[in-house]
Amino acid sequence: MTTITKGYDEELTVLTVCGVGMGSSLILRMTAEDAFRDLGLKARVTATDTSSARSMPADMIIGQAMHTEELQGVAPAVISVDSFLDREELKHKVLTAMHELGWLQHDTPVS
């Protein structure tokens, strides 16, 4: 039985969220796209607001803690960040979350 690995064979569906879905989530989306590219993962990142995020199926949701705490359970991976520009913080958190969900391929280092 072959398993499809998210981020490698299949694109990750990622939502970046903020309160109104405009300024902050868009910047976060650009940081996230850069982060996924650095990590060599395939991802489709959409910026949106917390209300809409509830009705959009996703593998991963990224946002500030004050928003992600309400979205726990809406997606398998819910990641809180403090900075919208810190690519390293985001890469670390993405890898940690994917490792906990068993999505990482064996040879990917979790830094």
Q: Which residues contact another protein (rule: CB under 8 A)? A: 18-24, 26-27, 29-30, 34, 37-38, 46-52, 64-67, 70, 82-88
For residue 102, the minimal CB distance to another protein (Å) is 28
Q: Measured in whole angstroms, how far is the alpha carbon of residue 91 from the centre of its chain?
A: 9
Give 10 or 38: the residue with its C-beta nearer to another protein.
Answer: 38
Rounded distance, CA 29 to CA 78, Å?
Answer: 15
Give 36 or 103: the residue with its C-beta nearer to another protein.
Answer: 36
b/e sequence 60-82, b meaning 16+ C-beta within 10 Å: bbbbbeebbeebeebbebbbbbe
Give 91 or 103: the residue with its C-beta nearer to another protein.
Answer: 91
H helices present in 54-101, as ranges: 65-68, 87-100
For residue 69, the minimal CB distance to another protein (Å) is 8
Give 12 or 71: the residue with its C-beta nearer to another protein.
Answer: 71
For residue 15, the minimal CB distance to another protein (Å) is 12
Q: In the block, which residue shows the tokens 């928003």?
A: 67
For residue 101, the minimal CB distance to another protein (Å) is 25
Instruction: Record the tokens describing residue 110, joined without a space.
Output: 């979790």
